[in-house]
Amino acid sequence: MTDSPPFPDDKALTDEQRYGAGLAALGAAPGTLRKFLDGYQPAQAWQAIARGRHRADPDCRYRRKAVPATLDTVVAGVLHSGVSIHVLGGPDYPSALAQDRQVPAVLFSTGDVAALEGLPRAAVVGTRAATVYGLGVASELGRGLARAGVVVVSGMTPGIDAAAHAGALGADAGAPTVGVLGTAHDAVATGSQVALRAALGARGAVLSEIPPAVHSAPWWFAARNRVMAALAHVVVVVECHHRGGSLHTVSAALARGATVAAVPGSVRSPASAGTNRLLVEGAVPVRDVDDVLTAVELAVVGRPDIRPPGPPPAPGRCTVGSSPPGPLAPWHRRVQRALGQDPATLEAVVRRSGLALGDVSVALEALAEAGLAECEHGW
Amino acid sequence: MALPIAIGLLVAAEVLPAACVARTGFVGELGLDGSVRPVPGVASLVAAIDADRIVVPAAASAEAALVAGGRVRPASTVAEVVAALRGRAPWAKVASLAAPRSAVREPDLLDVRGQIVARRALEIAAAGGHHLLLVGAPGSGKTMLATRLRGILPDLTPDESLEVLRIHSAAGAAAIGALDARRPPFSAPHHGATEVAVVGGGTSWLRPGEISLAHAGVLFLDELGEFPAPVLDALRQPLEEHVIRVRRARAAIDLPARFLLVGAMNPCPCGEGSLPGTCRCTDVMRRRYLRRLSAPLLDRFDLSIALGRPDVEDLLGGPPGDSSAVVGARVRRARALAQDRGVRCNSELRFDAVDGPSTLSPDAAALLERRLRSGTLSARGLHRVRRVAQTIADLDGVAGVGERQVAEALQLRAARSALVPGVDQ
């Protein structure tokens, strides 16, 4: 074994962490895992299962797996992927989760878990099959919430979740953002997911209750939703299909008394069928980030341990850079009026302003530089 | 059997005196009934034959005559050839090249209502030889506009005309039948076309593809996003070098392929695209739809514009724009200016030449510098914008390239970045 790549010294792990990870790697459901640790230290629990004497495992179902090889595999995985282990009851276990009924007994994280302590948290969730509208709103909410000092919690999947994270990361300053994985940290992921995990590790945290080197099962995604619901004071659903997975998060949030908010969408868009129904059933409507901030503020009233969200970000679009906007001529204003609120094609702007294409182009360049116009899916 | 072999046999059997076939070339295939049948590529074959007279199939005599003039001798049966060679009967008359297209009216820009920006882009594309990408919902008139591009292009030069004729002749009789020798060709392959059909090739008979048939003319790819990715990527070399190098196990040919590329596509699978609230496509669907368009291909489009559906008022008799004849005259003037710079059209301008004849005005240079500094314009994009701005200046009849022209050139490529967010300008 002298030729094998040197792993970091596993002495870095405490016994509690080692056996905690080992217990998680047995493949028990979250509830069973909690029972394993109920009244036992991790090392004791492991020994008891290995001897077939644990009261939570009367049929000795997990005895076969509780062997040193399992422990070695998971410890190697933990060291290789550089995750931290948090065992319920330990000093570094996130207090935001510790009080939850269905708390994950063992948690694996990258990034800075302590950063989310004491901050208000909002989950921004939704479908993978999102529309341009949903992605835009999710990113806008993520950015606005992070700026106002609200931790954005989401699920790392492509679509709404990734857009919310990206928006929060795009804020120039503000609260960290937390991703909750439905897989292990070292599970195979697409390039954009890998990039997102790295970015969150640097500015926020990524949580998973599945140990590294352990294969995930689809039901973990549903289980993951309860962790998001437990973390969040407010759950915002941006887009969700008729029977979308985000509704799991919603019911988990309702069971915990968290506020559920939803972004209205077109009544013809299947991607908004779930959210529109939530609104009918009484969810808080979300038009912009201010609506979410109000809901968060109400949710954390009477919680002195949670800092209320900061002032809402300044309305309007952010101005571009530091270049001083040049003086705008009257015909620049005419083009600006012709732009309207909705995105418009160049053709529409030329028609509404009644100016020549060359003049409109010069004006659009000037307006874009002054931060008064933006080219994105049309002007 | 080939006609030359048949004649050779007849001479060897002393049916025909050898003197009759001196300095005579033969092109054609022989049917079992003795008829002389056309072969593909007659025009090129005739050009390659050094003889005083060349016997060609009657059906291909018109194209042969355009290349070889009075040396062409049409023949429809082998008996006719033998009789004429012996001097017992006169040679048949050379047929005139059928011009089926001239009977059909070329679509005119007058039919296009509204669409100020798209018409302008079409004019710039024709004048500067800039490739054009039209992005718009179904019914916004993409195909209508693209089919009118040919009508505003100038006539072919005699040299170009001959090149086009030889390519179409090599593609076979069907291609030559649809050709009007003076006008630029227009080729619009369906998106189901195979790579071989588009770029050329084939196993037994290397045949020019649609991109060569569009040589000196317009290649229109409707539903650009539906073309297989290999076909689209095969376009990159000819777009760069104006030549397609077809390499096969048994043969290798270089075929000319200098064409003006017009691409048309919907902004997303459902077509409602940029209009907020109406598009029902998910992000995944949109990405899958756009996946085939590589950034290098999108880079080749100097002009890319988003089209909206025309206003109802325009459709029901708004003011008509300029006709193809008027626009075509402006295009010819602009092309003449480009030729003074030593290129066929402005898209072929080299960067040093762009710096040469007409320099940027100070405010135009400042605008470009600001865009470069803000990262919304790449170095490659800079040269493309400058070429387009030069064409706009030529069309406007102004001497130098000013802020107006540069700003317009920037605007007329903006739709591309909305389509694929990763693509910079």
Residue A321 has its nearest CB partner, among B276, B285, B374, at B374
Distance CA A255, CA B207 (A): 70
Decide the pairing of beta strands A84-87 and A106-111. antiparallel
Q: Span B405-409, mean pLDDT?
A: 89
Residue B408 has its nearest CB partner, among A269, A361, A369, at A361
Q: CA nearest B57: which of B23, B29, B85?
A: B29
Spell out the residues 6+ positions from residue B267 whose beta carbon is closer than 8 angstroms to its own. Answer: B135, B136, B137, B273, B274, B279, B306, B418, B419
pLDDT given at position A314: 45
Residue A364 has its nearest CB partner, among B281, B411, B418, at B411
Distance CA B295, CA B191 (A): 19
A195/B contact by beta carbon, under 8 A: no
- Mark residue A6 as left, alpha or beta (left: phi above 0; alpha: psi -120 to 50; beta: remaining): beta
Residue contacts between A and B (CB atoms, under 8 Å)? 104
Q: Span A244-254, mean pLDDT?
A: 88
User: How close is the nearest chain B Cα to the Cα of A345, in Å?
Assistant: 6
**C-alpha distance from residue A167 to each of A175, A307, A320 (Å):** 12, 22, 17
Q: CA nearest A121: which of A202, A175, A45, A74?
A: A175
Interface test with A, best of B120, B123, B283, B423 (most A CBs within 10 A): B283
A269/B contact by beta carbon, under 8 A: yes
Specify the DSSP class assigned to residue B21.
G
Tokens of A29: 């459901």
Spell out the residues 6+ positions from residue B69 whose beta carbon is closer than 8 angstroms to its own. Answer: none
Q: Do A357 and B281 touch (CB under 8 A)?
A: no
A8/B contact by beta carbon, under 8 A: no
A132/B contact by beta carbon, under 8 A: yes
> Where do the domains of chain B lie, and which CATH numbers do they carry?
3-85 (3.30.230.10), 102-315 (3.40.50.300), 342-419 (no CATH)
pLDDT given at position A372: 67
User: Does pLDDT of A2 surpass 70?
Assistant: no
Q: How confident is the model at residue A313 (pLDDT cuts 50, 70, 90)?
A: very low
User: Does pLDDT of A238 surpass 90?
Assistant: yes
Residue B306 has its nearest CB partner, among A269, A365, A378, at A378
User: Does pLDDT of B41 surpass 50?
Assistant: yes
Q: Span B290-302, mean pLDDT?
A: 81
User: How close is the nearest chain B Cα to the Cα of A225, in Å?
Assistant: 22
ipTM computed for the complex? 0.70
Q: Span B276-298, mean pLDDT?
A: 73
pLDDT given at position B424: 45
Indicate the length of chain B as a whole number: 425
Nearest chain A residue to B267, by CA: A377
Residue B117 has its nearest CB partner, among A131, A158, A350, at A350
User: How close is the nearest chain A Cα to the Cα of B388, in Å?
Assistant: 13
**Taking the mean position of all CA atoms in its chain, how far away is CA A370?**
33
Q: Span B214-234, mean pLDDT?
A: 89
Nearest chain A residue to B413, by CA: A346
A264/B contact by beta carbon, under 8 A: no
B410/A contact by beta carbon, under 8 A: yes
Decide: A132 and B283 in contact? Cβ < 8 Å: yes
Most confident by average pLDDT, A167-181, A271-285, A362-376, B370-384: A271-285
Tokens of A137: 């709103």
Q: Do B418 and A376 touch (CB under 8 A)?
A: yes
A365/B contact by beta carbon, under 8 A: yes
Q: What residues of chain A lie within 8 A of the CB of B411, using their CB?
A: 346, 357, 360-361, 364-365
B271/A contact by beta carbon, under 8 A: no
A374/B contact by beta carbon, under 8 A: no
pLDDT given at position A379: 44
Distance CA A192, CA A157 (A): 10
Q: Do B116 and A270 touch (CB under 8 A)?
A: no
pLDDT given at position A10: 54
pLDDT digits (tens, 9 = 90+) for A288-300: 889 999 888 888 8
Q: How confident is the model at residue A342 (pLDDT cuts 50, 70, 90)?
A: low
Instruction: Determine what percent of chain B is predicted with pLDDT higher than 70.
Output: 86
Q: Do A362 and B404 touch (CB under 8 A)?
A: yes
Q: How confident is the model at residue A5 (pLDDT cuts 50, 70, 90)?
A: very low
**Is this structure's pTM higher than 0.90?**
no
pLDDT given at position A72: 87
User: Does pLDDT of A14 surpass 90?
Assistant: no
In the block, residue with structure tokens 């599970």: A187
Decide: A226 and A101 in contact? Cβ < 8 Å: no
| Domain range summary for chain A, segments of one domain joined by + | 1-80, 113-299, 317-379
What class has domain A113-299?
Answer: alpha beta
pLDDT digits (tens, 9 = 90+) for B77-92: 988 998 998 888 888 8
CB burial readout A129-143, b (16+ within 10 A) else e: bbbbbbbbbbbbbbb
Q: How confident is the model at residue B279 (pLDDT cuts 50, 70, 90)?
A: low
A192/B contact by beta carbon, under 8 A: no
pLDDT digits (tens, 9 = 90+) for A68-90: 888 888 888 888 888 889 988 88
pLDDT given at position A323: 38
Q: What residues of chain A lie within 8 A of the CB of B367, using their CB?
A: 365
pLDDT digits (tens, 9 = 90+) for A117-148: 888 999 999 998 888 888 889 999 999 999 88
pLDDT given at position B289: 80
User: Does pLDDT of B124 surpass 90?
Assistant: yes
Q: What residues of chain A lie within 8 A of the CB of B277, using their CB?
A: 133, 266, 269
Indicate the average pLDDT of chain A. Answer: 82
Q: Do B277 and A320 touch (CB under 8 A)?
A: no
